[in-house]
Amino acid sequence: MGIFGALTTSVAGLRAESYALENISGNIANAQTTGFKRIDTSFLDLIPETAQNQQKAGSVLANSRSTNTVQGTVQPASVSTYMAINGQGFFVVQKPSGTVDNSLIFDGLDNYTRRGDFTLDKDGYLVNGAGYYLEGLPIDSTTGNPAGSTPQVLQFKNDFLPAQATTKVDYRANLASTPLTAKYDASVSGSELLSAADFTSDPTIAGTGQVIGSDVQTFLDESIAGGALTTYDASGAPVNLQLRWAKVDSSTTGGADTWNLFYQTDPNATGTDVAWQNVGTAFTFGANKQLNPAVPSVDLTGVTINGVSLGNLTVNFSTGGLTQYADANGNVQVNQFQQDGFPAGSLQSVSINNEGRVVGNYSNGRSIDLAQVVLATFNGTDFLKRLDGGAFAATEESGQALLGRGGSIVGSSLEDSNTDIADEFTKLIVTQQAYSANTKVITTSNEMVQDLLNVLR
């Protein structure tokens, strides 16, 4: 190779170290860029064709080496629409190709990114800091599962949640074994419990299944409150559902503890107007303080409260939902009282949870899953083509995107750049020393050429 070959090789060395320096500078510059993946430098030796006993060190070529599979640190963030990926995978995104009538249009060309600083823009799109628009799968409101398998650009604009009438009530409670349902008799000390016969002889309490307005006070004195719950009719109007329990037979009189459940139909009832309605089911407790027989649920037909129709309701007690243990105050301890209705509401904000679900938060207090964020992985992740803004495009070498795989999504978090400043500074020192050494070879080669020229003079 000789002196001139050494000059050529040193120039290649300078070029390679300059290439490495450029990558290092880019890594350091993006040390705080969300989701940035540093570029390392690989050096490739170039060996000329020579005889076995005359092999030479050869020249050098610098290539970039991607670190797309190296994760940055995941840090918590205060923005509810930010998210990070813990593990492998990329968010599927697009960039708009233009506008029509002030509306964005997309050409369907998918890109991929780890940059998860998405926020909701004025048009209801989730856009990250580099201008890429998030894709995902809409959620079927009936099944709660993703609809389809092809991601689409997500938009949440003027989303309105219609009212839903109450159809189901979940109720769990403990009825005191010595409740305040006694009929007080001033002629004797203490109190005596109501018996089944009392209810049979007084049809206003249980015989007809109804309590009329003129007997409301007696009923209130001889029953205990079972809790109140706001339910909703078909228009979303609130309806107050109140329950009361009355013991109709007691184990102290030789029978089992048996209760009846009533709901209020008219809080302003007078005279013969119906004020409370019996659900028509006997709740009998055995020695173990559990229902015997079990009553998993009761169906209420044509429920009307204060003139507002709720239609048919199902009250679910579930297994072991009703018990009869001692209570110092003799009251009903309500452990669960929930219903499935709600008024209409408009979308106020969105957030992303740790399951990768985009959750809509509505003015009526409801939170509904709107979309599922989809992750994409590649067989050749490090062969993706880099784009501006921390995005990537699929290439023939990377293979096509494999949807539905990858790591897990962490809501309200961001992934830091995977650049290690200390490591980059170390590489910077090594690169500078190697560059200086190559210039020294050029200087030495030049001196040797000058010496040769001097011999010829």
* Mean pLDDT, range 53-57, rounded to an integer: 68
Give yes or no for residue 177 having a pLDDT over 70: yes
Judge if pTM exceeds 0.75. no
| One-letter identity of residue 456 | L
The pLDDT of residue 153 is above 80: yes
Residue type, 451: D
pLDDT of 192 reads: 35
Residue with tokens 């599979």: 69
* Of the candidate ranges 248-257, 403-412, 439-448, the one whose mean pLDDT is the lowest: 248-257
Joined together, the tokens standing for residue 334 give: 């309500």
**Comparison of pLDDT for 392 and 10, the residue scoring more:** 392
Over range 115-127, report the average pLDDT: 95
Provide the Cα torsion 205, 208, 214, 219; round to 10°: 20
Percentage of the chain modeled with pLDDT above 70? 90
Instruction: Show the CA angle centred on residue 66, arms to residues 352 and 438, nearest 5°.
Output: 145
Span 183-192, pLDDT tens digits: 323 232 223 3
What's the rounded mean pLDDT across residues 409-436?
A: 95
Q: Residue 181's pLDDT band (boundaries 50, 70, 90)?
A: very low
What tokens does 37 get? 């993946």
Q: What is the pLDDT of residues 69-110, one digit of tens each?
A: 999 999 999 999 999 999 999 999 999 999 898 889 998 999
- Burial (Cβ within 10 Å: 0-12, 13-18, ≥19) of residue 457: exposed
- Cα(352)–Cα(360) distance, integer angstroms: 9
Q: How far is it, in rounded angstroms, from Cα 288 to Cα 286?
A: 5
Q: What is the pLDDT of residue 196?
A: 42
d(CA 267, CA 236): 20
Domains and CATH numbers, the chain: 2-70+417-456 (no CATH), 74-156+371-415 (no CATH), 168-339 (2.60.98.20)
Confidence of residue 63 (pLDDT cuts 50, 70, 90): very high
Residues 6+ apart with CB under 8 A from 79: 117, 119, 412
Residue 253 is predicted with a pLDDT of: 56
Does residue 262 have a pLDDT over 80? yes
Confidence of residue 198 (pLDDT cuts 50, 70, 90): very low
Q: What is the pLDDT of residues 269-293, one digit of tens each?
A: 999 999 999 998 999 998 888 999 9
Q: Output helix, strand, coil percentages for the chain, rounded to the nearest 5.
A: 20, 40, 40
Distances, alpha carbon 424 to alpha carbons 28, 60, 389, in Å: 7, 21, 21
Which pLDDT does position 188 carry in this prediction? Answer: 29
CA–CA separation, 16 vs 97, rounded Å?
38
Half-sphere exposure of 128 (CA within 13 A, CB side): 30
Could you report the per-residue pLDDT of 334-381, keeping only the tens digit for each?
999 999 999 999 999 999 999 999 999 999 989 999 999 999 999 999
Residue 401 has which token pair?
């995107």
Span of 173-182, 209-218, 235-244, 386-395 with lowest mean pLDDT: 173-182
Between CA 450 and CA 18 the distance in angstroms is 27
User: pLDDT grade, residue 131 (50/70/90)?
Assistant: very high
Least confident of 191-195, 207-211, 343-347: 191-195
| Single-letter code of the amino acid located at 280 | G
